[in-house]
Structure 1
Amino acid sequence: MMQRFIPVVLASIASFTLTDSQAISQNKPTCQRTTQNFLVFGGGGAPSYNEIALEKNMLYFQRSLKELGYSTSDAPIYFANGNTGEKTVRYLDEKGDQQFKAHTVPNVQGASSIANLQTWMAQAAKEKTATPLFFYFSGHGGHNRVNEDNSSLLMWRDRELSVQNFTAMLDRLPQNKPFVTMMSQCYSGSFANLIYNGGDPNKGIALQTRCGFFATIKSRPSVGCTPEVNEADYRDYSSSFFAGLTGRDRIGRKVASADYNKDGRISYSEAHAYAKIDKFTTDLPVSTSEAWLQRQVNNPTMREQILGQTIAPLAKIARPEQRFVIESLSRQFKFDLNRSLNGNLRSLNPELVKTAEDEAYLVRLSMELTNVAMERRVRTSKNARSIQTLDRLIRCEAGSWGKS
């Protein structure tokens, strides 16, 4: 088991390469304003893969809005076929047979088409307001095997919207309008590149403040798109992220608080940390700052040095939400914090790592330790541009839906 696992860890970390040292704007990020705009796109690109779980994600998002004092009318939703009344939502009935029905999502403005997204973004670009925009996408993703930095969203009628084409829309938004996204589709980590001009890591950091949270890294599919009806059985990043953000899961139960820094509000980054330990899935959640940090792990020697560092000192310098992830996952595998990850792996009880989900949790731990180690490396580098980039991303990710 351990011989099979260690290459999995290294391969996951190795998927992030390329150092970025581009300059960014001196503007202070404003992701923590007390007002918030929302935009939601969801659904499959065709009835054959427009699963009922995607419809239920829209409904859970609306319940999450209400939980934090917003109205469902505050968030325009574009879902699958829109308001045509067609039976496009795929589900399994009590006998396990495939059926189709019309969606029941309130406040749907139209289809989840590229044209509708372009129209909405064009209008937002004209408003010239500094109100932050939170964009939620719950659907499917296309994998660009030639260039994993430019994968795609699958929009209605099987249209693909690439990272670079999506980011071109963001490039036209007002420079002082922060943008935050949460995406749960397969290969969603590719969209961490929206922090760059045109979505291209070779073109430098965009002047507009942008950040995001993604169900998994750019090279991996995600879980959660199911035609099963019972929400109590759902295991996916959306479920965990919004449970952490609001304090209630998708069937209304209260969950443990994700206020890890005890400041009285739940930030996006804290909800993201909650999602990393909440559900037993194979996802490898990642944020923009984490993707940026791990992209700079550019050689095997650096990776080995990180995985060979004692865990306890890294946990001590970690931010509260990072410490929560490190300590929680270390407890899960009965790791000794006074040893390195590699040292713990050599003596790990094989009974604790029986499934692909178990292995994913170990990869999550390796990624979290890498995030902390690389953040320390950036901060001690005295590279002002890199430090500024990191600070700006972290501040954006520390925003929230809080109204006060």
Structure 2
Amino acid sequence: MIGSTIIGSTVIGVTTGNGLYHPEIILMRFLNTLLLTIPLLCVGSLSQADPSVADDYFLTIGGGYAPSGNQVSLENNVLFFQRVLTDLGLDTSKSDCFFSDGDAKGHDVQVMDPQTIPKANRLMAEFFGNSRSLGLTYRDHRVPNVRASTRPDNIRKWFVDVGATMQSGDRLLVFVTAHGSRSSSSKEPYETTIATWGNSSIKMSEFVGLLDELPDGVDVVSIMVQCHAGGFSRLIFNAGDPDRGMSPQRRCGFFATVNDRPAAGCTPEVDEANYVEYSTYFWAALSGRTRMGESIELPDYDGNGSVSFDEAHAYTILTADTIDLPNKTSGEFLNQYSKFGKGDSELLKDDEPYSVILGFANPVQRAVLEGLSSQLNLEGEKRLLAASDAVDSGSGRGRFRRRREESDASRVRREISRDLERRWPELANIVNPVSIELMTTRSDEFIRAIEEHKDYKRYRELADAVLVDESKRQVKYERFLRVADNVALAENLRRMGNEERIRQFEAIVQAESGTLGDAGRTQ
């Protein structure tokens, strides 16, 4: 009789009926058991680290504070984000959206489509009245499967009902496309807000408190495009306060603009081809398609075969012609814990030669620095100084140039209007019966009189031209400097030698390098 003594799944001895051990049998049994055990051990260990057991949760907070502040662009931002998730084949079963008034019936979205107004009426407003808000209407929002309104109590309840069920390794991606306000306290300039329904709001510190309620080991990625969104870059700190140290929860975020500036984008216009706000470019970079479904070259700046959140942020910095000054959490960390050198310090200064900065830049930063250098015609080693000079002196010239170009179009328009009033003096008042006839029964005559005017073609060229807005060019200098500063500050952090701070910074950078659908893969 042959017997064996087994502990767990490992053979520790084999005996015959006389109690003697046979080495050959011991070895044979041990090898057979080992061959059966190894796959089980491997499966068990993989199940603990396998990204497939980790989930991405998506939380969208969108819309305005009231119908008058709930522009259709905010609705379209949400719909575009949902399309991106679907196009990428991501599991959206754990996606929740809070938008404006929720499922309440009523006209809560502001929409403006001038093309719905008869052409004669549009021309009458343009030449003899005011075309502002022409075609403005309200309707119920069209965001599907909305969980509730954006009132703060609903958001708080989500963190209790859903957030608390998340597990270590899961990741929460928060997308905020709403309005926002600057801080009401000069002593707490980062205490900015997300505007929510019913003229309510959520402050930065309260939002951080909600994140604190998530289970240990849950990662957070935030993409926020509201005005003054940069205040929320402090979500990496305990209670949003750098003096209280880093949150133990790994968080990162990308923001359309800094804490003390408005953001571009909110509009009641229905034509998405004209949208130029932050998320338009950010989601296009990750999905490879614009809002209009057109393919773009993926901004895989580091050549690793995928587009990270950080690369999407960089693409937006390079591509968006807006007033926005985008920032991210790693930059806020460096602002708090690193510094520039002075005098004979070994730390890099804020006016280093360009080649020095470029030498320390990572592939994504190099793409931005080189791309903006090309756009702004920056050359040579003194690019940082040149960009700084442009920021200091450029805004006044830009404002003057824009006013001058707009006045050219206005002057030609007035000349056309005066000629038409000579033909129809009643146009001095657009509610005069003759004026009304020209918009209705005699509309063809009125349209023909304007479009056949000798100066109309020139006016249209002036009015439709893309104005050279130097404020948008100036902010690109600021973007250039911000990226260059982050390169220098990151190198200085390493030279300062605080190993704990370096590890914290690298963890944020690693999280910012994540991609859609990679929950658990950067643990």
Report the TM range for the smaller structure's normalisation.
0.7 to 0.9
- Please report how far the alpha carbon of residue 343 of structure 1 lies from its aligned counterpart in structure 2 after TM superposition: 4.5
For 2:217, give the aligned amino acid.
N
Q: Which moved more, 1:241-250 or 1:145-154?
A: 145-154
- Please report how far the alpha carbon of residue 108 of structure 1 lies from its aligned counterpart in structure 2 after TM superposition: 1.2
Q: Provide the alpha-carbon RMSD of the alignment.
A: 2.5
| Residue number among 370, 374, 379 corresponding to 1:327 in the alignment | 370
Q: Which moved more, 1:381-390 or 1:93-102?
A: 93-102
Partner of 1:80: 100
- Please report how far the alpha carbon of residue 354 of structure 1 lies from its aligned counterpart in structure 2 after TM superposition: 5.8
Mapped partners of 1:315, 1:257: distance in 2: 23
Is the Cα–Cα contact under 8 Å of residues 192 and 212 in structure 1 kept in the other structure?
yes
Can you give the 5+ residue segments of structure 2 that lack an aligned partner in the other structure? 1-48, 118-133, 399-467
Mapped partners of 2:389, 2:231: distance in 1: 32
Partner of 1:115: 153
Partner of 1:45: 65
Pairing 1:369-384 to 2, within 5 Å after superposition? 369-384=484-499
User: Per-residue displacement from partner, 1:5-55 (whole Å, max 9, x unpaired)?
Assistant: xxxxxxxxxxxxxxxxxxxxxxxxx9x887411111100011010000000
Whose radius of gyration is greater, 1 or 2? 2
Determine if the alignment matches structure 1 residue 141 to structure 2 residue 163: no
Pairing 1:169-180 to 2, within 5 Å after superposition? 169-180=210-221
TM-score, normalised to structure 2, is: 0.67
TM-score, normalised to structure 1, is: 0.86
For 1:188, give the aligned amino acid.
A
Determine if the alignment matches structure 1 residue 99 to structure 2 residue 214: no
How many residues are treated as equivalent by the alignment?
A: 373
Is the Cα–Cα contact under 8 Å of residues 338 and 490 in structure 2 kept in the other structure?
no
Distance 1:78 1:305, change over 3 A: same
Can you give the 5+ residue segments of structure 1 that lack an aligned partner in the other structure? 1-29
Partner of 2:258: 217
SS in 1 for 2:374: helix
Mapped partners of 2:112, 2:342: distance in 1: 49
Mapped partners of 1:264, 1:369: distance in 2: 25
- Please report how far the alpha carbon of residue 319 of structure 1 lies from its aligned counterpart in structure 2 after TM superposition: 1.4
- Please report how far the alpha carbon of residue 294 of structure 1 lies from its aligned counterpart in structure 2 after TM superposition: 2.8
SS in 2 for 1:129: coil
SS in 2 for 1:40: strand
For 2:374, give the aligned amino acid.
R
For 1:124, give the aligned amino acid.
V
The structure with the largest helix share of the pair is 2
Partner of 1:208: 249
User: Per-residue displacement from partner, 1:311-367 (whole Å, max 9, x unpaired)?
Assistant: 122123211111111000011122124334105666999899961000000000000
Mapped partners of 2:150, 2:191: distance in 1: 20
Distance 1:109 1:361, change over 3 A: same
Mapped partners of 1:361, 1:345: distance in 2: 11
The structure whose RCO (Cα within 8 Å, separation 6+) is larger is 1
Is the Cα–Cα contact under 8 Å of residues 338 and 493 in structure 2 kept in the other structure?
no
Pairing 1:238-257 to 2, within 5 Å after superposition? 238-257=279-298
Q: Which moved more, 1:166-175 or 1:181-190?
A: 166-175
SS in 2 for 1:149: coil
Partner of 2:206: 165
Partner of 2:85: 65
Is the Cα–Cα contact under 8 Å of residues 77 and 109 in structure 1 kept in the other structure?
yes
Partner of 1:310: 353
Identity rate, percent: 32
Is the Cα–Cα contact under 8 Å of residues 330 and 337 in structure 1 kept in the other structure?
no
Mapped partners of 2:189, 2:390: distance in 1: 35
Distance 1:58 1:347, change over 3 A: closer
